[in-house]
Amino acid sequence: MKNKGTVYIVGSGLGRISDLTLRAYQLLKTADIVFYDRLVNDNLLQLTKEHCELVYVGKKPYASSHTQEDIESQLLAAAQKHQVILRLKSGDPFVFGRGGEEGMTLKDAGVTFEIIPGISSVINGPTYGGIPVTYREYSRSFHVYTAQSKDGETDFDWHSIVQFGGTHIFLMGLRALSNIVRQLQIAGMPETTPIALVQWASRPNQRTVIGELRTIEEKVRKAQLTSPVVIVVGDVVDFSESLNTFERLPWFGQRVGFPTEARIEQMIAFESMGAELVLYPRGTKRIQKESENISWVFIPSIESMHSAERFFSREIGLKFGTVSDQVRESIDITQSKFWIGEVHHEDRNYISQFWNEL
């Protein structure tokens, strides 16, 4: 098959811009078309160029969705029309991401392709929950399982899992939690073994629920967790309370409207304080859907001020912030609150103190 372009199978981590590899960021900025999965953060799509085509090919567990064959057919067709084709996946494409299958299909068809690694939820999920998957004297190994399979069964050798020791990580396992807990105990794992579930790791709705095998189901029911979750079993779970720094960041849980033309350093500065960015102006549907959950709108320039005026209504009580004296002088500050000063990582303490005063 003679193809026009190259297909890049790209891992995007858990969705924060600051967790992207530089290569993934570069490809997002230059892609002609992006095929993206259900768990890919919308923000990453807003980083693409103006006329980039965005194609949703997500799969929802236990529901009808795009077939793998259909996705691969679309990739093959796109390779005949476009120069830079992105297959954007959450996490890493080779860790339960079917990136290997897609790569083999492209290879067999003679299509040029490249694999770009991402940080897998296997590592990122526990880390955002403050759980080290290895820790000297506690766990010298970790083992990863998917709670979903092609036939819908989780037919593990549970006795071997228990004998392995170390840390055990189950992905896509919320619905299978009861079976996982039961089978581990039947196989001989003590009922007091620590276990944690990290929901939507790295996002503003992240929640970490910790218990023991004997108590975790009731705790999860009370917490009303939703997918996706990462399940971690082992003694290292006990470190979460001390090492979970993400959920203690000053802006954790806050959504901040942010213009797509802002500098990447400014975006990372806000993410480093725990904020989730909601990029505008291209994210119009998301803005409309989540505007009531946005705490601040960041306006670095006159151009982005005009975009903000189109996409945000003052009726929902938003606060506006800027680093530009020109912007500050152009807006009725009696209706908004501002901070002034360059937004760098070093200014996080200053900005967070100002935030807490509002």
Report the DSSP beta bridge partners of residue 296.
256, 319
Q: How many CB atoms lie within 10 A of CB 232?
A: 27
C-alpha of 169 from chain center: 18
Does residue 59 carry a catalytic annotation?
A: yes
**Cα(295)–Cα(356) distance, integer angstroms:** 12
SS3 128: helix
Does residue 37 carry a catalytic annotation?
A: yes
- Among residues 92, 172, 189, 267, the one annotated as catalytic is 172
Closest CA to 146 of 230, 237, 204, 261: 230
Within 8 A by CB and 6+ apart from 40, the residues are 12, 15, 58, 88, 89, 90
Cα separation values, 70 from 65, 101, 167, 329, Å? 10, 13, 36, 53
Cα separation values, 115 from 28, 92, 170, 181, Å? 14, 10, 24, 35
Report the DSSP beta bridge partners of residue 11.
89
- Among residues 19, 32, 37, 92, the one annotated as catalytic is 37
Q: How many CB atoms lie within 10 A of CB 60?
A: 10
- Among residues 4, 42, 59, 319, the one annotated as catalytic is 59
Cα separation values, 110 from 73, 76, 238, Å? 13, 10, 50
For tokens 């070093």, name the residue.
Answer: 346
Q: Would you please indicate which residues are annotated as catalytic (active-site) residues?
A: 37, 59, 172
